[in-house]
Chain A
Amino acid sequence: DADVTQTPRNRITKTGKRIMLECSQTKGHDRMYWYRQDPGLGLRLIYYSFDVKDINKGEISDGYSVSRQAQAKFSLSLESAIPNQTALYFCATQSRDRTEAFFGQGTRLTVV
């Protein structure tokens, strides 16, 4: 089993729908991140959490919300999806001593 698991792997949704992307990890890491990737723009940070009670906005948080349900789970929600949220979304985890970050396999989201 993967250390960082994202579900779903692919999703097509309609404009205006609410959608949740889920991330779970078995690494026991405190720090979790949500990034989106668009061609030519690298990985842009949406939200991050350093422990269960800590949630922080990243550079592109508008239109997104998150929930840290447990140390192992960090969910990203699009309350009302719009086409420019079509992207590849990654969840990542990192240990408290801040060594390498581990990534999930990504969720390809298409909003039509």
Chain B
Amino acid sequence: EDKVVQSPLSLVVHEGDTVTLNCSYEVTNFRSLLWYKQEKKAPTFLFMLTSSGIEKKSGRLSSILDKKELFSILNITATQTGDSAVYLCAVEGPQYGNKLVFGAGTILRVKS
């Protein structure tokens, strides 16, 4: 069974804290790993990672992929209340039938 596992399931932090969200998967050969942020309704795209060890950054968010250890992390520094959301990780590749397979998500709540 295709599997993408995210941890923690939920997290509560204070504004200004740094958080690390984890995504692990079970196959060694895949095409890409994607991170999404979901606030009210539709998930919005954050990053796509295809190469191991190369960090993607966008403002206070960054993500890196480790293809050897089969995981990715999403870091958020200096968190703000607007970062409160569900963060979803998805993996896509031939062993998944070339379809996007999502993890259960991490619920992040940032308190002011």
Contacts and interface: CB of A to CB of B under 8 A. Distances in A.
Contact of A100 (B1, B48, B101): B48
Interface residues on A, range: 20 to 34
A37 B6 CA distance: 15
Contacts of A58: 99
Interface string A95-109: 000111111111000
Given A40-B104, A48-B99, A106-B42, A98 B92 contact: yes
- Grouping DSSP codes into helix (H, G, I), strand (E, B) and loop, the A interface class, with mixed when no group exceeds half, is strand
A67 to B, nearest CB: 18
Interface residues on B, range: 20 to 34
A35 interface: yes
Interface string A76-112: 0000000000001010101000111111111000000
Nearest to A48: B99
Nearest to A58: B99
A45 interface: yes
Interface of A: 33, 35, 40-45, 48, 50, 56, 58-59, 88, 90, 92, 94, 98-106
B24 to A, nearest CB: 14
Interface string B79-112: 0000000001010100001111111110000000
14 contacts: A33-B100, A42-B88, A42-B102, A43-B102, A44-B102, A45-B99, A45-B100, A56-B97, A90-B43, A94-B100, A98-B31, A98-B92, A100-B48, A105-B41
Given A40-B9, A98-B32, A98-B92, A103 B43 contact: yes
Given A42-B88, A42-B105, A101 B99 contact: no
B34 A100 contact: yes
